Amino acid sequence: QVQLVESGGGVVQPGRSLRLSCAGSGFTFSSYAMHWVRQAPGKGLEWVAVISYDGGHKYYADSVKGRISISRDNSNNTLFLQMNSLRAEDTAVYYCARERRELLPHDAFDVWGQGTMVTVSS
């Protein structure tokens, strides 16, 4: 079945780095734009970043620009989120999500991972 599985979360000190992974299966991973979305404890959903199906285009929310980098390895059906200079306010559950239609932008997110928790604390 179509599935996304995140990994890589954990507890990290402020200023340190962490890389999240999201493994896709059950669909042609290389045909879909992919996103990261996060939810801080007690807060709403916040869109973080997007990468085009081929990795050629990447965009970020202002809150993470310059500190976070999205990438993908289509040969291994894996999406990544490299997070540097982490702050307490980056503490959240991080979800990867697939854009609904192949090769077409501006669509909803129809498949989501289960989420991975990142806690930034000394």
Task: Give the footprint of another protein on this chain (CB under 8 A).
Answer: 35, 37, 39, 44-47, 50, 59, 61-62, 95, 97, 100, 105-110, 112-115
Nearest approach, Cβ of 13 to another protein (angstroms)? 26
Instruction: Name the residue nearer to another protein (CB basis): 44 or 66.
Output: 44
Instruction: Name the residue nearer to another protein (CB basis): 46 or 71.
Output: 46
Q: What is the DSSP code (8-state) at residue 82?
A: E
Determine the Cα–Cα distance for residues 90 and 1; give it in Å rounded to an integer: 31
Q: Residues 100, 113: contact at Cβ < 8 Å?
A: no
Nearest approach, Cβ of 14 to another protein (angstroms)? 26
Nearest approach, Cβ of 114 to another protein (angstroms)? 6
Sign of CA dihedral 81, 31, 37, 119: negative
- 31 by Cβ neighbours in 10 Å (0-12 / 13-18 / 19+) ranks as middle
Instruction: Name the residue nearer to another protein (CB basis): 41 or 75.
Output: 41
